[in-house]
Structure formats: structure tokens, C-alpha cells
Amino acid sequence: MARASLEAIRDAAPAVLPSLLLCDFGDLKGEVAKLHDAGARVLHLDVMDGHFVPNMTYAMPIVSGLRRHTDMPLDVHLMISDPLKYAGPMVDAGADMLTFHVEAVRDAAETAARIRDLGVSVGVALNPETPLGSLRECLANVDMVLVMSVEAGFGGQKFNPIALEKLQTLRSEFPDLLLQIDGGIDATTIGPARAAGCDLFVVGSAIFKKGDYKAAISTLDDQIRSHGPPNDPDSNDLGVGN
């Protein structure tokens, strides 16, 4: 399962990942259908526990409900204090990739290895003020790094450009590692993130606060293409990274 879902995510990149935090939870099936029709290929779920971050969202029942309505990979971002406690139930509910925060665990390498043993892909996330050095011990055990461009916990925060520096460093040192960004991603910030080497772009307000999901995702995709790194077949000759 892990290999197939990881390849599906890699094949989708560069890609916009709608963050379902702002979707209509009274009509999950309809929202998933609209996102699929709009061109989404991977869905992002933000799980918060009210402890690691000062907000609470949803847990396994929502993951399970989504799994019944789509075969798109479910990228589950665990903004929680004890990711290993809930990793198994999340996998059972249908998660394809689990991302934990390096700030939440004592041993990131062991955490990543134990999540991988559950048969899913593994991501590790870090907040804007957390140094990249905190990831070194676990990078051999993860498939993706999620660079937060806002402090984890709430949507609608201002984009922190320190994320671009981290993406550039990671892309230079680990050319095959999947890189994701989350926080304040819209039509003005997604291009620079792509130019910095990012593959996956978590987007909330810039999709769900628009009336037309397809038009919103298309606008974001246009910015991704126009800012692609050098030699990227999805970029054009005017890209900032060219």
C-alpha cells in the first residue's frame, strides 16, 4: 500500500493539495466530488489535538468517511503531541501518508520507522522557527518533508518567507526527497515556493473561499508551471526559476 500511494503522490507532483479544514463537512461526498472534478489528485487532512497546537479538528471518523468516497491518496498531517498513539488507527481509517511534527517527538528517527512499519508513507514536518538540523537524524526514514510557512495550528496566517530558504536548502541537499509546503499558500506565494523546489502545495482559503474550485486550482497550477525550477518540463521559459 505504501509504495503504491507514494508513487501516486509522486506522479501527481507538482500538485495542489486541497486542505479540507475549510470544506463543508456536512457534505463530504459532494466536496470530494467537486475537488476531483476541479483537478485535485491528493487530499490533505489537518488533524489537531488541542494540545500540541491550540486548536482541535477531526480524527479517524472523518478520514474513514473520506476513504469511502474517494480513491485519491489521503495525506494526513498529525499536529498532535503523541503521533504514535494514533498512527495505527489513522492507517486503519484509510490514511496513505502520515506526517508528524519533529517538535512533538523525542526520537524522530524511531517515530518515522515505526510509522513506516504500519505500511504507509511517512512525512516529517517542522515549524518556521525550527532549524533544519532537527531533521537530520530522521531523513533516511521519511518520504517527505513538510515545511511549514506558518506556525502550525490555525489557518489564515501570513506566509513566512523563511520557508523558501528551507526548501532551497533541502532541494539542494536531497534532490529526490518530496517537499511540501503548508501555510498561507495562494496565487502570490505558490510560485516562489515552486521556484524554491517545492513539489506539493497545501492550499485552504485560496480554494475553499472561492466559488469555483476548478478556476481556483487552475490559477494555482498556472503559477506552479510558470515558476518551475530549471529543466522542469512543467515550467515555461518565463519561470522565475529559469
Per-residue pLDDT reduced to its tens digit, 228-237:
765 555 543 3
pLDDT in tens, 59-94: 898 999 999 999 999 999 999 989 999 999 999 999
Consult the annotation and say whether 123 binds a ligand.
no
Q: How confident is the model over 120-177, as pLDDT tens digits?
A: 999 999 999 999 999 999 999 999 999 999 988 765 568 999 999 999 999 999 999 9
Residue 148 lies in a domain: yes
3-state SS string over 63-129?
HHHHHHHCCCCEEEEEECCCHHHHHHHHHHHCCCEEEEEHHHCCCHHHHHHHHHCCCCEEEEEECCC
Q: Please check whether residue 231 lies inside any domain of the structure.
A: no
215 located within any domain: yes
* Catalytic member of 49, 75, 182, 232: 182
Residue 19 marked in a binding site: yes
With CA atoms as reference, report the closest residue to 96 among 203, 193, 190, 10.
10
Catalytic residue status for 46:
yes
CA distances from 242 to 117, 161, 171, 204, 235 (A): 40, 20, 16, 28, 8
DSSP for 160-213, written as a single string: -THHHHHHHHHHHH-TTSEEEEESS-STTTHHHHHHTT--EEEESHHHHTSS-H
Residue 242 domain flag: no
Q: Which of 46, 75, 186, 199 is catalytic?
A: 46
Domain boundaries, position 47: 2-226
Residue 182 in marked binding region: yes
Whichever domain contains 212, its CATH number is: 3.20.20.70
User: Using CA atoms, how far apart are residues 228 and 209, in angstroms rounded to an integer?
Assistant: 26
Span 40-63, pLDDT tens digits = 999 999 998 878 787 778 889 899
Residue 77 lies in a domain: yes
Provide the number of structural domains found in the chain: 1
Q: Is 228 annotated as a binding residue?
A: no
pLDDT tens digits for 169-225? 999 999 999 999 999 999 999 999 999 999 999 999 999 999 899 999 999 999 999
Query: Model pTM greater than 0.85?
Result: yes
Q: Does 86 reside within a domain?
A: yes
Is the model's pLDDT at 22 over the cut of 60? yes
Q: Which residues pair with 124 in a beta bridge?
A: 100, 145
Was 46 annotated as part of a binding site? yes
Active site residue 186: no
Assess if residue 240 is contained within a domain: no
36 carries a ligand binding annotation: no
